[in-house]
């Protein structure tokens, strides 16, 4: 029996990806477990393995390299010896035509026959998530074509309709001279997550400074030790903050709690995400159980994840499961800023630059290293006072890091 080859979901929020290309040719023999094609998801490209063995039959309307594809569509089949391709192995394209301004006869989105066949009375079948998203985006979901089984309307159909409507609105505006820059899946995912953060959180940001003189001295000691024979790679300020934040979260666990329906879930371990700037946009790898890891292990994992993220070799699961995020703009000379929460997390910490400043000590000016810290938290989960106590505790750890790192 022919086995359908479909576009898989690489992440919980993934509804579409970019088809990079086939790794096997039509008519080639494929063994179960062999890489079959490459798919680019929200933040990384991944080789998709065959789940069965057989001869590869590529559908007539299979996507070309670089095409955006919806999760679940059939792009080919694996056939047994002597088996023919099943009838109807190709799919009619989902009709999403955006059109004329509202009020005209073509102002709605066209529905495919499959979508019409799935209607109950005057309303098509749809998922609860699709209906809720349609209400948020102002999309009339009852007139959409469904890409799900039996024409069921899914989240991806609503997003496509909203995108088409925005594109039509932009075409109605006066033209702007300049260079057109295509938006790839990574940038689109970042934009969608930022919108989600804006729509689903009540963000409040606290700004403070910490005396980082001891932290700077400790890092100098690590660097001196690294220069010795058999010395280990010294930690940077980001890796130290990952460890300190994870330890602080043990004392203030609500700062990495998350909503789950009508209750809050407080994680047993702190999984710290850290922002990495890549050519394709910002990605957030996650270091799991960071409080339990030695600082040297955090350095090794963080740098390996950052390198593979920039090389687009990081796995989707390595960017999932975070409970708290840290973003560092200090290396760019930025002191204070307002970081954006990464849903469903409660908070994100922004690291600013370290500046040598005069500080009054016993009526005399003394040079001290000062670090800016910015904490954005979801006021739905914690109030200002608990968030301030967390930040106060973290500042204490930054100002005297030795005992925290040794314990």
Catalytic residue IDs: 379, 383
Using CA atoms, how far apart are residues 56 and 80, in angstroms rounded to an integer?
9
DSSP 255: G
- With left for phi above 0 and alpha for psi between -120 and 50, is residue 289 left, alpha or beta? left
Pairing of strands 281-283, 276-278: antiparallel
**220: three-class secondary structure by DSSP:** helix
Q: What is the DSSP letter of 151?
A: G
Contact yes or no for 69/7 (Cβ under 8 A): yes
Span between the terminal Cα atoms of the chain, in Å: 60
Whole-angstrom distance, CA of residue 156 vs CA of residue 179? 29
Buried b (16+ CB within 10 A) or exposed e, 287-307: beebbebebeebbbbbeebbe
* DSSP summary character for residue 344: T
Instruction: Give, for 9, the enclosing helix (H) or strand (E).
Output: none
Closest CA to 287 of 275, 298, 276: 298
- Cβ-proximal residues to 228 (8 Å cutoff; 6+ apart), any chain: none
For 276, left (φ over 0), alpha (ψ -120 to 50), or beta? beta
Q: Which of 121, 68, 113 is nearest to 95 (CA)?
A: 113
């Amino acid at each position: 029996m022919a086995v359908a080859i479909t576009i898989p979901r690489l992440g919980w929020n993934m509804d579409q990806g970019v088809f990079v290309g086939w790794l096997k040719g039509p008519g080639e023999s494929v063994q179960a477990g062999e890489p079959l094609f490459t798919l680019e998801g929200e933040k990384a490209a991944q080789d998709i393995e065959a789940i069965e063995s057989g001869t590869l039959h590529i559908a007539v309307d299979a996507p070309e390299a670089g095409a955006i594809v919806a999760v679940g569509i059939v792009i080919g089949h694996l056939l047994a010896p002597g088996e023919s391709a099943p009838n109807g192995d190709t799919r009619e394209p989902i009709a999403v035509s955006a059109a004329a301004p509202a009020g005209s006869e073509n102002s709605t989105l066209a529905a495919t026959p499959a979508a019409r066949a799935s209607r109950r009375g005057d309303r098509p079948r749809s998922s609860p998530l699709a209906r809720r998203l349609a209400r948020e985006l102002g999309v009339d979901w009852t007139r959409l074509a469904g890409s799900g089984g039996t024409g069921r309307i899914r989240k991806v159909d609503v997003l496509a309709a909203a995108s088409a409507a925005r594109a039509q609105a932009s075409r109605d505006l006066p033209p702007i001279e300049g260079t057109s820059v295509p938006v790839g899946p990574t940038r689109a995912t970042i934009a969608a997550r930022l919108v989600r953060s804006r729509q689903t959180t009540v963000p409040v940001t606290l700004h403070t400074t910490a005396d980082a003189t001891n932290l700077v001295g400790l890092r100098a000691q690590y660097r001196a030790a690294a220069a010795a024979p058999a010395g280990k790679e010294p930690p940077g300020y980001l890796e130290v903050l990952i460890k300190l934040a994870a330890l602080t979260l043990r004392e203030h666990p609500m700062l990495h709690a998350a909503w789950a329906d009508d209750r809050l879930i407080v994680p047993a371990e702190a999984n710290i995400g850290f922002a990495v700037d890549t050519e394709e946009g910002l990605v957030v790898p996650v270091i799991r159980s960071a409080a339990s890891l030695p600082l040297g292990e955090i350095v090794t994992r963080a740098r390996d994840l950052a390198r593979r993220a920039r090389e687009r070799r990081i796995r989707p699961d390595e960017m999932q499961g975070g409970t708290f995020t840290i973003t560092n703009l200090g290396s760019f000379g930025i002191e204070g800023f307002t970081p954006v929460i990464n849903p469903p997390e409660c908070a994100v910490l922004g690291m600013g630059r370290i500046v040598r400043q005069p500080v009054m000590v016993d009526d005399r000016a003394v040079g001290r290293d000062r670090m800016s810290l910015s904490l954005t938290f979801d006021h739905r989960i914690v109030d200002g006072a608990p968030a301030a106590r967390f930040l106060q505790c973290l500042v204490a750890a930054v100002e005297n890091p030795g005992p925290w790192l040794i314990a």
